[in-house]
Amino acid sequence: MDYREIITIEPGKRGGRPCIRHMRIAVADVLGWLADGQSPEEIISDFPELTDQDIRAALAYAADRERRLITAS
């Protein structure tokens, strides 16, 4: 899976933060829900427009960003 097909960044939406498939659900929202202990199934139940692949894309985006930050320092 290539997260770049799912994660979108639009300057006028959510302050240019990375979002899921042009929706107003930010990657940071998904990561926060996971960090709070919600399962992917619970998140999808609350936001049925999301898919398991969307959640995995958010995690892949965060992992890739972390790798790039470590490499740059």
Confidence band, pLDDT 50/70/90 cuts, at residue 73? low
Q: Domain span at residue 19?
A: 3-72
| 3 in Cβ contact with 61 (< 8 Å) | yes
The pLDDT of 4-30, averaged and rounded, is: 96
**pLDDT confidence bin for 23, thresholds 50/70/90:** very high
H/E segment holding residue 19: strand 19-20
The CATH number of whichever domain residue 31 belongs to comes to: 1.10.10.10
Number of folded domains in the chain?
Answer: 1
What are the tokens at 24? Answer: 């107003």
Confidence category of residue 30, pLDDT binned at 50, 70, 90: very high
- In terms of Cβ atoms closer than 10 Å to its own Cβ (0-12, 13-18, 19+), residue 30 is buried
The reported pTM is 0.89
